[in-house]
A = this chain, B = another copy of it.
């Protein structure tokens, strides 16, 4: 209870709450973003919500060439979650620059562009082209997509591959925009991977991508997905996301990792869910699968998160980031 007493919730006015945040220098009006692959490039959601009011739109991952994605079925519902094996379907960078980015600019959306490639060079080429484009607020490097035919291409599963991609990208970007590396939870030691990409120059981390799963279609007696395995997302994986954010933020507080912003992702459907990631150490939060349940979710989560944090007594969003670590540290202070 002592931890709450410094923040008498009656003393703060929710309307006075400052939701602003920044991710490695990119200022965001509020901390709630769409997650890559769960909002296309913003235009479809634009029919339903004001994309300019979102913290940012994170685009579906863009690759150099157009890509068909995988055969269907591409999705399977699972308890409190789903598997997807879209396989990075997209129009390629040229079409993105010709159509999607101008739309996002016109709509006034803060934009983070997710990129992926088959090798570090493709990543670097994409990032280099995007960094010079007006309207690109940051680049998210998707080294963790499980829906690639060759699992060896999940660069985020190996520190040296992850590092190679991020080095190539940061070099190509040359500091023009922040670079976020998106990590996979499917590793023995996520702190080690985080360390590798930070050492390679990443300005921040996005965590987590989906975790690899499979559903067997019992009637057909084979994997339900055409692509066999898929990425598990949704509320089912939220405890894994919170744990990953916690571990990496703890390593930063302990001096094991260089301090850097963490964007929390995984299973967020409510303001309370988002608050878990924030208190664990995330300075922004992405909403993915929950958008499929209700396209208004990212906007609603932003409002609710502000209310939750203001209700806990925070005057500014920034003060809540990682606060659970502070509470824990106070508990174990010798003179408590």
Contacts and interface: CB of A to CB of B under 8 A. Distances in A.
B80 A323 contact: no
A107 B243 CA distance: 41
Given A188-B186, A240-B211, A216 B279 contact: yes
Interface string A216-227: 101111110000
Contact of A215 (B186, B189, B242): B242
Contact of A221 (B81, B218, B312): B312
Interface stretch (A30-38, A91-99, A230-238): A230-238
A218 B272 contact: yes
Residue of A76, A216, A240 contacting most chain B CB atoms (<10 Å): A216
A328 interface: yes
Contacts of A160: none
B242 A216 contact: yes
A214 interface: yes
Contacts of A267: 79
Contacts of A243: 212-214, 229
Interface residues of A, number: 53
A239 interface: yes
Contacts of A232: 239-240
Contacts of A240: 211-213, 232
Interface in A83-128: 83
A280 interface: yes
Most B CB within 10 A of own CB, among A189, A212, A220, A222:
A222
A80 B156 CA distance: 28
Interface in A1-56: 3-4
Contacts of A3: 220-222
11 contacts: A4-B221, A78-B238, A79-B267, A186-B188, A212-B240, A213-B243, A214-B242, A215-B239, A216-B275, A220-B327, A221-B327
**For the complex of A and B, 4 pairs with smallest distance between CB atoms:** A213-B239, A79-B80, A79-B235, A236-B236
